[in-house]
A and B are shown apart, each in its own frame.
Chain A
């Protein structure tokens, strides 16, 4: 057993942390959020070229740095600390994840495009009716000659405004919530018939509603096996969940640090509010929540390559922990900041907003509790 990072992993973390320290101040981020495009394309280029982090989790024969999910965890935790908006999750973790397991003929080229920063992907999976059920799909891909025709509506596709490609889940068969009949496609966002409506999200990101209206896509848009895509989707989504758990840990850690710092310097009744025991205990509970969340993130990340059953159980357990902790830590951070916590001026509120969105992203606490119950308790009965 070993919870230490290798030298390369420590270096990855330090390089990214120092870049973000220099270039990704709270004010810089705010300016990006308010800008027309909503992100920094030049930072994405720097991630690819200057830092080389977009290749972190890919093997060397795919042109990557030879890393794995641990590298994603390291990057995402730093992203959480700086509230990075650029789409590492959607592109490297998810787009790259699908491609590396797909056995697709052009996977190496496409991953090369991701590593180089030219291909940016967004994951179009959720639908207005489906809540967190990955198989609840009305979007269809009908065979048409050698290719397919896509029709449907994808909801709240994060990072879509910046994407060159969309990873789309759709039905090639089966009924609305059936496990079989689900397929995954990598679709050029410029394809005729794709209509998007872009908007900001409450946590400073950008998203789109994506409508497919008779979009013709070639046969090689298919990622993985036609009609048997669900296990692959679940695997990649579990990896994405592990990644946002790490992001959540980063955000929680910052909220905790900011709160300690604030409580030490804020005086009321002639004393630093940090000396009030009721606040001390709350800050201790925040600390415990951050540590437990980190433990669960390690656990889940290290189990991503186990059987589908064990992986899913580990990931859902971690997501339950992070969902609950994000709420506790976020609410406590705001409360201890008093009125200052309510302002848009201070970073703590922005961490709270991101942490709140992480609670629901890829499934709420209830969703993952149910999945865990099913895998752990029902399966044993």
Chain B
């Protein structure tokens, strides 16, 4: 047992640090730090730089075009990205559907989708949840009925139903969907995994606005959407196998340790600028300082739990139900970071500027720059204990799968 990085790891760290410094797009600098909303172009700008370098998919095996990094190297990569405040890579293609396709797809499907997923030409969104199927995902109702089109003699699915909470569907080229192909089977056994082009007639995307005023999620309506059978991944009615595989991948990395570290760093900076009631800096306020310390200790416990999980993973054990621990603690820490940031902002956490015209003739700044996004971020980050399997569901999983209750 030891906690040291090897000389190779240290050399790797220097290499990625230098790469980020040299190649992170100027247009994105500071955006993450200020919590600005990011456009599709913003995401793609960084995605493409990484894809060109072969680093966009750190967790993929080399056989599928991954960089072949060890878990330690992936950890270092995450740390360096967070330290440099880079924006993230959208998870839907790289962390979710990509691994499903290379694990369960045919050679043709891999050829059709993986290169464009890697280079950013396909923007994916995840069509799992439905109005009636949230935590109880397997109860989903969107149905896909198979038929042969007399016009071309080919087999298709006719898809009808509604997906919801679909993150960034407004930008998406493709959606991966769980659909019901056998209404009479046991609920988990009648589901298939379909890839659907968002430009297919019959798809309507409607925005859902969230608490901080953001447009991140959408309703996706599917009305008589015609999907070629070759867009189904894996066997008909075996989609649940893909779904569960994907959920496990979705959960790994959800701890967000490096980002939370950066978040705490930002709070410390805020708290050296902000003054407390007595005119000393907020970081000198014993009560505030204590909370920052507690949060750092929480984060350290999470970090070393994640490192143990990574070590087990590189010893060949896939992400198991223990990753639910990372999801629960990771999201709790992320939420706590936003709570403390809002607290640090004081009165200037209240002004709200989204969509509000900045009046040209009166451009005095209102409050410090770091304050504006603290309240919307706090509201927005409540989502993390709800999505990706709510924290209640994660606890149910641990109770059942780990504790055997």
Contacts and interface: CB of A to CB of B under 8 A. Distances in A.
B367 interface: yes
Nearest to B363: A197
B346 A279 contact: no
Interface stretch (B32-40, B61-69, B192-200, B352-360): B352-360
A279 B282 CA distance: 36
A349 B379 contact: yes
Given A126-B347, A201-B350, A131 B277 contact: yes
B277 A209 contact: no
B351 A334 contact: no
Interface string A334-352: 1100110111110001001
Where chain A touches its partner, the secondary structure class is mixed
Interface in A247-293: 267-270, 276, 278-279
Nearest to A276: B392
Given A136-B279, A176-B279, A334-B382, A156 B356 contact: no
B136 interface: yes
Among B339, B346, B378, B385, residue most surrounded by chain A Cβ atoms (within 10 Å): B346
Interface stretch (A159-167, A235-243, A361-369): A361-369
Given A156-B350, A201-B351, A278-B392, A339 B375 contact: no
Interface string B330-370: 00000000010011001111111100100100101011000
A114 interface: no
B208 A343 contact: yes
B350 A207 contact: yes
A257 to B, nearest CB: 19
B387 A339 contact: yes
A342 B382 contact: yes
Contacts of A132: 277, 346
Interface in B210-239: 210-211, 213, 217
Best-surrounded residue of B134, B285, B351, B390 (most CB of chain A within 10 A) = B351
A126 B350 CA distance: 13
Contacts of B211: 334, 342-344, 349, 352-353
A227 interface: no
B385 A339 contact: no
Interface string B365-394: 011000000011011101101110011100
A131 B386 contact: no
Contact of B347 (A156, A331, A335, A343): A156
A364 B274 CA distance: 15
Interface string A157-181: 0000000000000000000110000
A327 to B, nearest CB: 8
Nearest to A135: B277
Interface residues of A, number: 51
Contacts of B277: 130-133, 136, 367, 370
A154 to B, nearest CB: 10
B386 A335 contact: yes
Interface string A192-224: 000101011111000101010000000000000
B366 A335 contact: no
Contacts of A366: 285, 287-288, 343
A331 B353 CA distance: 23
Contacts of B353: 199
A127 B282 CA distance: 16
A335 B395 CA distance: 14
Given A342-B383, A344-B209, A360 B395 contact: no
A197 B366 contact: yes
A183 B140 CA distance: 65
Contacts of A357: 350, 375
Nearest to B395: A278
B287 A370 contact: yes
B337 to A, nearest CB: 14
A356 interface: yes
Interface string B255-288: 0000000000000000000111111001001011
A307 B378 CA distance: 38
B347 A155 contact: yes
A129 interface: yes
Nearest to A350: B211
Contacts of B351: 156, 199-202, 207
A128 interface: yes
B352 A155 contact: no
A200 to B, nearest CB: 5
Given A343-B210, A366-B288, A155 B348 contact: yes
A199 B391 CA distance: 36
Nearest to B391: A335
B352 A279 contact: no
Given A133-B277, A199-B366, A343 B209 contact: yes
B129 interface: yes
A267 B349 CA distance: 36
Contacts of A199: 351-353, 356, 366
B164 interface: yes
B364 A133 contact: no
B347 A352 contact: no
B165 interface: yes
B135 interface: yes
A342 B386 contact: yes
26 contacts: A128-B347, A128-B348, A130-B275, A131-B282, A132-B277, A133-B277, A155-B367, A197-B366, A201-B350, A202-B350, A202-B351, A202-B376, A207-B351, A209-B364, A209-B366, A269-B135, A269-B139, A279-B392, A339-B164, A339-B217, A339-B383, A342-B217, A342-B386, A344-B210, A353-B379, A367-B277
Given A199-B352, A202-B379, 17 more contacts: A126-B347, A129-B279, A156-B367, A197-B364, A201-B350, A268-B136, A269-B136, A335-B382, A335-B385, A338-B386, A339-B129, A339-B134, A339-B386, A352-B379, A356-B379, A366-B288, A369-B287
**Which 7 A-B pairs rank lowest in CB-CB distance, beginning with the nearest?**
A268-B136, A133-B277, A344-B209, A366-B287, A202-B375, A202-B352, A156-B347
